[in-house]
């Protein structure tokens, strides 16, 4: 049988990243390539208690089909979480999604027709690039600096592509760079979007994982015209395997979102929504997040110190204030070649090329620190330094 696949299916040869992840999964390899939260911090005992309680309290109800937009009890708790993020919302503005990844997919499906332009930061989250491309989007990247997307460059891009469909941005501890958008840029981005009448998709899975600097209001906070569609997730603050994310948008948008969510999976896992809701009633989420941020702060600082001490002096890196990633620039080095050399030294990262939709900036790569012991951070950076030396000598 020869299947005639649709254009949505990524071309196999495009999937260099899958090959990288496969190579990095070898147990001999110290892998800074992944993007996993620290599993030893998952609240296993509390989730078990919450699960027992849910079955005792709600029985068969939680095993039944349920509403498409999600369990109202959990959505009410998300209203409170959003309040802590300086965003006013109501249950009607919120839907629970199967991870924020599903919300990215459904929002893309809602807005993109083949050939439409989507504006993103350059570099950006690679699974968002894949989704947007699967709907036939033409990706246009906007350069960043340490303060996030360059808003003057954004304005220029919008001038060139006034018909663009939306701006996709990750303002906090961006994947892959770890950078955070400065508050003035946030206001400016919303102003530019208002002027150009463009929707903004604000993807914020990491914002709560801040261990340095001060809280910055989201783009949604500055949104006076209901044009920001805000996405977040319990993946990084509780457990990614539970696949719970959420979307905050105006009611008209939510009505359309519901139609596509229904087509996709009728609703997000009802049992899991009840369990997380019970967890949030019985535990202090902020305290749990503090445990995570303390651990990540330590790991990030250790990795930065090792990089500063061991990598060549011309190497630059981001200094994240939260999240899980450090972005490294090694001028003049082909980081795909460096990746091959690193594998010989049993260490891995993700070459920057994976995160650029169009023109790749050479000499960049992403390192993850959240899922790593101190010993592995020290040893892994040492191995990488030897590999960098080998490719640059
Ligand atoms: N957005 C970004 C920027 C991410 O890095 C990730 C996961 N790594 C997601 C969305 C998806 O997360 P989830 O579906 O687990 O909520």
The CATH number of whichever domain residue 62 belongs to comes to: 3.40.640.10
**Pocket lining: 123 vs ligand 1, CB cutoff 6 Å:** no
**Pocket lining: 100 vs ligand 1, CB cutoff 6 Å:** yes
pLDDT at res. 11: 65
- Would 1 be classed as within a structural domain? no
Which of 131, 233, 324 is the pocket-test mutation for ligand 1 (most atoms within 8 Å of CB)?
233
CA of 225 to the centre of ligand 1 (A): 26
**Pocket lining: 205 vs ligand 1, CB cutoff 6 Å:** yes
pLDDT at res. 346: 95
**Pocket lining: 240 vs ligand 1, CB cutoff 6 Å:** yes
Which of 235, 272, 355 is the pocket-test mutation for ligand 1 (most atoms within 8 Å of CB)?
235
pLDDT at res. 15: 64
Domain containing 364: what range?
16-43+287-391
**CA dihedral of 367, 373, 378, 383, whole degrees rounded to 10:** -60
- The pTM of this model reads 0.97
Q: Are residues 221 and 232 in the same domain?
A: yes
Query: Which residue positions in the chain have pLDDT lower than 50?
Result: none
- Would 79 be classed as within a structural domain? yes
Handedness of CA 38, 41, 46, 48 (dihedral sign): positive
**Pocket lining: 31 vs ligand 1, CB cutoff 6 Å:** no
Q: Are residues 90 and 124 in the same domain?
A: yes
Q: Are residues 207 and 338 in the same domain?
A: no
Residues contacting residue 23 through CB under 8 Å, at least 6 positions apart: 29, 343, 348
Q: Are residues 138 and 252 in the same domain?
A: yes
**Residue at token pair 């206001």:** 187
**CA dihedral of 374, 377, 379, 385, whole degrees rounded to 10:** -150
CA of 150 to the centre of ligand 1 (A): 23
pLDDT at res. 8: 87
**Pocket lining: 176 vs ligand 1, CB cutoff 6 Å:** no
Atom of ligand 1 nearest to the CA of 99: 14
pLDDT at res. 352: 94
- Would 11 be classed as within a structural domain? no
Out of 281, 308, 337, a domain closes at 281
Q: Are residues 216 and 270 in the same domain?
A: yes
pLDDT at res. 366: 96
Q: Are residues 253 and 309 in the same domain?
A: no
Look at the chain and report how many structural domains it folds into. 2
- Would 159 be classed as within a structural domain? yes
Q: Are residues 63 and 179 in the same domain?
A: yes
Indicate which CATH number applies to the domain containing 386.
3.90.1150.10
**Pocket lining: 273 vs ligand 1, CB cutoff 6 Å:** no
CA of 230 to the centre of ligand 1 (A): 13
pLDDT at res. 13: 54
- Would 3 be classed as within a structural domain? no
Phi, psi for 120 (deg, rounded to 5): -130, 165
Q: What is the number of alpha carbons within 13 Å of residue 265 lying toward its C-beta?
A: 15
- Would 180 be classed as within a structural domain? yes
For residues 221 and 337, what is the distance between their CA atoms, to the nearest angstrom?
43
CA of 203 to the centre of ligand 1 (A): 8
364 to 95, 168, 271, 329, 358: CA distances (angstroms): 36, 21, 42, 4, 15
């Amino acid at each position: 049988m020869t299947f005639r696949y649709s254009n949505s299916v990524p071309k196999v040869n495009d999937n260099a990243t899958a090959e990288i992840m496969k190579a990095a999964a070898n147990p001999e390899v110290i892998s800074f390539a992944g993007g996993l939260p620290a599993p030893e911090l998952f609240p296993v005992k509390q989730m078990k208690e919450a699960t027992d309680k849910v079955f005792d309290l709600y029985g068969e109800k939680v095993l039944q089909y349920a509403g498409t937009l999600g369990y109202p009890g959990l959505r009410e708790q998300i209203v409170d979480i959003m309040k802590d993020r300086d965003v006013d919302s109501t249950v009607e503005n919120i839907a629970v999604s199967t991870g924020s990844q599903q919300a990215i997919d459904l929002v893309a499906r809602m807005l993109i027709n083949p050939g439409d332009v989507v504006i993103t930061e350059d570099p950006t989250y690679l699974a968002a690039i894949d989704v947007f491309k699967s709907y036939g989007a033409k990706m246009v990247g906007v350069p960043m600096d340490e303060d996030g997307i360059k808003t003057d460059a954004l304005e220029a891009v919008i001038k060139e592509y006034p018909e663009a469909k939306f701006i996709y941005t990750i303002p906090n501890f961006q994947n892959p760079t770890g950078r955070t958008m400065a508050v003035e840029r946030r206001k400016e981005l919303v102003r530019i979007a208002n002027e150009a009448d463009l929707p903004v998709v604000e993807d914020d899975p990491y914002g709560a994982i801040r261990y340095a600097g001060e809280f910055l209001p989201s783009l949604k906070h500055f949104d006076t015209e209901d044009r920001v569609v805000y996405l977040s997730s319990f993946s990084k603050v509780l457990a990614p395997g539970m696949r719970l994310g959420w979307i905050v948008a105006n009611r008209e948008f939510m009505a359309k979102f519901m139609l596509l969510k229904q087509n996709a999976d009728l609703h997000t896992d009802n049992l899991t929504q009840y369990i997380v809701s019970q967890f949030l009633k019985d535990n202090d989420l902020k305290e749990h997040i503090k445990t995570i941020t303390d651990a990540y702060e330590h790991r990030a600082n250790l990795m930065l110190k090792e990089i500063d001490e061991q990598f060549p002096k011309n190497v630059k890196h981001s200094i994240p204030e939260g999240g899980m990633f450090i972005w490294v620039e090694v001028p003049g080095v082909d980081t795909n070649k460096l990746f091959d050399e690193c594998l010989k030294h049993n260490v891995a990262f993700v070459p920057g090329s994976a995160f650029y939709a169009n023109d790749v900036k050479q000499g960049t790569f992403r390192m993850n620190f959240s899922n790593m012991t101190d010993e592995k951070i020290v040893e892994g950076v040492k191995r990488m330094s030897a590999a960098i030396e080998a490719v640059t000598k």
